[in-house]
Structure 1
């Protein structure tokens, strides 16, 4: 399959954490910060998908959306933002944006919306995942193996499954596992976050709309039910769906047919529906916040995921799994957890569950250098990172730039002079560039700074006579 090309109209630091995933999946990512550069890429047909911030200095996303709509190459545009609102989502969707996301960007979400074939124009099925991928659930604790066995047993059926559990327990991962073992694995897997959009936009997102059905509906749009036809539709955070829309969803589940917004024809769909929630839906039903009949229709097969704190030694299995995956993605050597780090992991109560553990391991991998990983590399609340200095005066781990602690060993010149903070900073930057073979994006990730900051620092070093490419 041809390489995918993604254009980001964004600040580089919001995209750079994904560099390793782009490289691993042969995706070409381009980052610009002005309208002229963005349109140059779009008009030259060099992008299959565009992600844009709402605004940058001298740039507005609505100008790009307007130009793309009038372009001979109307590439799909997704608006993403660090702080969003329902009103802003409605505005950009009506302007022609394909979707509206909140930061941070993740490879899993981007992969789900990549066009099937590049550089062909985007098709209605561009939001579907075209090829099955292996889904591994890591864990040997009985509370997980029981749920996993049930998921595997019911996967080949068409029964709806309600996956519940605390935030970060891996509900979407279990949904993907069910899809991968359902017999529908070669058909689309489409996920919709029911909490991300207001009611009228979510209705259009699920069921589609006809041209002219509302302001900004400049063409027919197929909804996620049609895009997932033959495959699986995941309704994430189903408890956040408005009651009026729940009635329409119930009809779609019972009858296997939908009506597009503004449409007059009923459309038959063949979709396996999975739903997730981090709330107690029985209590929501009692409070009148969720329809009882829809709850029964969704809860044919209930899967309740345990919290990470209930999974015992699975904490260490997952930590080792994430370390292996992250060192591979970042091109680093093998790393091991120290005994004191393992003890800390087992004692922690994990309010953020598996998601918290994954983020913690990524931070530790980037800060541990040659290892082993110690609890200091987790950068816990109230801690500040200071790079360790070895006997040669080299930083053992490239981290956030700061003064070494008073107890760190620092090489002192023959005249007794201690290196300055600026010299230490320069040394870390040069070492990170050596480690990444001059790749500035990857070096900035290792250092914990933005590419722009790294570029400015290198410019300062050139001014003082250093030969830096």
Structure 2
């Protein structure tokens, strides 16, 4: 591969010299420009693999140049040079399509890391290979899923924080893994953490690490999840469950690209892409004072909404087929005993379901049917869909009617599921509060949620 070419745009000569020397030591040939007009002329004359531009230029802004590049040279990743602490500028740049940003005074280590990541995007995209290698796939041929795959491919090519929204069971973590697998960080670690599963008094230690003796039980130094995800992606699932104090430190870690372990005096630089997710409406959580507005602004640079299964019923046949194949393999059937097949009526019945638990609930229904069906074909009766499965969830307090055709165990499971869902809604999906109201431990509630296919 030929020597990489970079275009550096800034009206400060000393910044240009510093960046040019740094890139030269990375074997990257740098061309420089002082204005937007000069940069456009350079782009017409040469071929570039990367553009670094200051936000404020004599004849325009870095955003103007970014938009020009996006329109005329969409394959060139653009990194923005912003004033120190200018969160608004950094967020605006990344919303406009910037690959990443670096603040003044320029930290050379961060600059080298940024350039290295951007140059991995040179040449043909390897997203297909990366996805195949990771074993991660997003199933569905509906327009909604085509749109999601297209957005994921675009999001994989920059470092902007992504906020994935959607109901429980829609595949938010799967989307995050695909963004990671198709991007320049695919060789780095993907670290996923459920923020709601961390005890509140250990959140900061888990995220940022701690020093020996910093608190009772800290018998040795420990790396946090930010350090564990170095060079890769940190996926913060159910980020709305973070306590406010941890939210303050998370905001600083994202802005400064560094963390301070509990009990440490110095901050540690970290090179991590942040993807977060929640099934909560974070705007509502901000209004209630449960989530910091500045943090929401910072993590929600780009929002990716995962559609509910009921919004794409045409994908159910493919999802069902793949689930039945997987179940056959897991049960050791292999090629000698092919997967179960669904009758047309069974498939149509599944397509009519509201599936509040989405894909995870569909998988649970099929796993139950596979275990209970007598033959190789699964019919409607084998799905054991109770009357409440076909009813809309607009009447959550409606009393369930006992049906002689439904096994008692399934009837009781449905009552349990309805009670848990109602309580979770009443407590705004605060699992700790819901468990207390239901008279069970948080651990027991998590077990029941997993058993019932509720995330």
TM-score by length of 1: 0.53
Deviation per CA, 1:27-77, whole angstroms, max 9, x where unpaired? xxxxxxxxxxxxxxxxxxxxxxxxxxxxxxxxxxxxxxxxxxxxxxxxxxx
Counterpart residue number, 2:345: 340
Counterpart residue number, 1:349: 354
Q: After the TM superposition, which parts of structure 1 deviate over 4 Å for at least 4 consecutive aligned residues?
A: 381-386
TM-score by length of 2: 0.54
Q: Distance in 1 between matches of 2:174 and 2:168?
A: 12
> Residues 8-407 of structure 1 correspond to what in structure 2 (within 5 A)?
133-332=134-333, 333-334=337-338, 335-381=340-386
Q: Distance in 2 between matches of 1:358 and 1:252?
A: 38
With over 3 angstroms needed to count, the CA separation of the structure-2 counterparts of 1:221 and 1:369, relative to structure 1, is farther
Deviation per CA, 1:168-201, whole angstroms, max 9, x where unpaired? 1110111111111012122111011111123221
Q: Distance in 1 between matches of 2:375 and 2:219?
A: 55
Structure 2: which 5+ residue stretches go unaligned? 1-131, 387-402, 411-455
Deviation per CA, 1:237-276, whole angstroms, max 9, x where unpaired? 0111111111100000011000001111211110011000
Shift of 1:369: 4.7
Q: Is the 8 A contact 1:155 1:178 kept in 2?
A: yes
Q: Distance in 2 between matches of 1:132 and 1:199?
A: 36
Q: Distance in 1 between matches of 2:200 and 2:327?
A: 38
Q: Distance in 2 between matches of 1:277 and 1:236?
A: 6
What SS does the aligned partner of 2:341 have? coil
Q: Distance in 1 between matches of 2:135 and 2:186?
A: 10
Q: Is the 8 A contact 1:134 1:180 kept in 2?
A: no
Q: Distance in 1 between matches of 2:135 and 2:233?
A: 16
What SS does the aligned partner of 1:219 have? coil
With over 3 angstroms needed to count, the CA separation of the structure-2 counterparts of 1:206 and 1:287, relative to structure 1, is same
Shift of 1:314: 0.7
What SS does the aligned partner of 1:313 have? helix
Deviation per CA, 1:201-250, whole angstroms, max 9, x where unpaired? 11111001111111111111100000000011000001111111111000
Q: Distance in 2 between matches of 1:215 and 1:353?
A: 42
Q: Distance in 1 between matches of 2:346 and 2:376?
A: 12
Q: Distance in 2 between matches of 1:282 and 1:261?
A: 30
Shift of 1:291: 1.0
Shift of 1:366: 2.4
Shift of 1:368: 2.8
Q: When the two structures are aligned, how many residues end up with a matched partner?
A: 258
Shift of 1:384: 5.2
With over 3 angstroms needed to count, the CA separation of the structure-2 counterparts of 1:298 and 1:132, relative to structure 1, is farther
Shift of 1:164: 0.3
With over 3 angstroms needed to count, the CA separation of the structure-2 counterparts of 1:132 and 1:247, relative to structure 1, is farther
Q: Distance in 1 between matches of 2:243 and 2:381?
A: 45
Structure 1: which 5+ residue stretches go unaligned? 1-130, 387-399, 401-469
What SS does the aligned partner of 2:201 have? helix
Shift of 1:278: 0.2
Q: Is the 8 A contact 1:132 1:185 kept in 2?
A: no
Q: Distance in 2 between matches of 1:379 and 1:202?
A: 41
Q: Is the 8 A contact 1:190 1:233 kept in 2?
A: yes
Counterpart residue number, 2:104: none
With over 3 angstroms needed to count, the CA separation of the structure-2 counterparts of 1:132 and 1:235, relative to structure 1, is farther
Q: Distance in 2 between matches of 1:379 and 1:223?
A: 45
Q: What's the Cα RMSD here? A: 2.1
